[in-house]
Chain A
């Protein structure tokens, strides 16, 4: 739903072209085309759109983003408690969708930054690039190679393996020192 996003986040800084006051003697074709566009296309379309919005403003109604209650995680479920598994699975799927949207937003931020900066992008977008790198690395660590049949259980097993690797690395490091 791009029209519901906050485009203020991507605001381009104001341009610094100087305003020229002198009027040339030759009719500027660009301004002629602009006025033609304004009267032929822009005005009727704006009129129709505003008429439609007046009709729709008579009874307004709203929609909301649903907030889900947090339920016990898969790691807090007892054995053979299939209802707990089901709820934890649903919550994990929702969390994964949220994480995917987060990665998408950070990617869009980098794209907007590149578009905004133009030739300066390699210097000025370093923060956004670093953020995207960290976020995608985190996403890959958590949901990365689970595959299309990945569910909460496989993700938990992946986390367990990660923790075991970490512990082993820590034990090796403390053994060497």
Chain B
């Protein structure tokens, strides 16, 4: 919206300049005015009649753009200065063959000094990341195996009935009342 109003304002200025350059007085040509805001008057030097121009407010737009620029530059300028300092005074690493009997540290595989610093102080070594991922996979693999074994045990116990699972509580046979079945003529 702010950009759109900027565009409209620029178009109005261009239109005013185009309209003014063909017909108007020479000292009014270069002055940027909105159309219909300049009226020639007899005794005033170059301003024309002072008009109160009614236009939509640009307060919010300019405030937004100022704040945007401020907050972007607040960190962008120090970051740009720091990165320029690093690039000029510290410089990038040079490619070299790995010397005999020397294992480079894991941050020495990066070229830019800031990448090296991040790899050294902020991130974990890639070997540790690798091992972490393999540990997760190992835990999940063991879980799948245990679950498969559990399913197999459940199936066998249900089938054979000789395991601790699939026992159902039945009432005690001493509680059963057999009086109605005890005599044949009941």
Contacts and interface: CB of A to CB of B under 8 A. Distances in A.
A and B together in one complex: yes
B137 A62 contact: no
A56 B134 contact: no
A83 B137 contact: yes
Interface string A78-93: 0010110011001000
Nearest to A85: B137
Contacts of B138: 82-83
B173 to A, nearest CB: 48
B118 interface: no
Given A4-B95, A64-B104, A82 B141 contact: yes
Contact of B133 (A65, A67, A80, A86): A86
A56 to B, nearest CB: 3
Interface stretch (B17-25, B72-80, B83-91): B83-91
B110 A82 contact: no
Contact of B96 (A64, A67, A86): A64
A1 interface: yes
Contacts of A63: 93-96, 108-111, 116
A50 to B, nearest CB: 13
Interface centre among A1, A63, A67 (most CB of B within 10 A): A63
Interface string A1-43: 1001000000000000000000000000000000000000000
A174 interface: no
A55 B88 contact: yes
A82 B138 CA distance: 7
B94 A60 contact: yes
Contacts of A82: 137-138, 140-141
B150 interface: no
Contact of A55 (B89, B130, B140): B89
Given A52-B88, A64-B109, 9 more contacts: A56-B88, A56-B90, A63-B94, A63-B116, A64-B96, A64-B97, A66-B104, A83-B138, A87-B134
Interface of B: 88-91, 93-98, 104, 108-111, 113, 116, 130, 133-134, 137-138, 140-141, 145
In the A-B complex, the 5 residue pairs with the smallest Cβ-Cβ separation, listed nearest first, are A56-B91, A63-B93, A62-B96, A82-B141, A64-B98
23 contacts: A1-B95, A4-B95, A53-B91, A55-B89, A56-B88, A59-B90, A62-B94, A62-B95, A63-B94, A63-B95, A63-B110, A64-B95, A64-B96, A64-B108, A66-B104, A66-B109, A67-B98, A80-B145, A82-B138, A82-B140, A83-B134, A86-B137, A90-B130
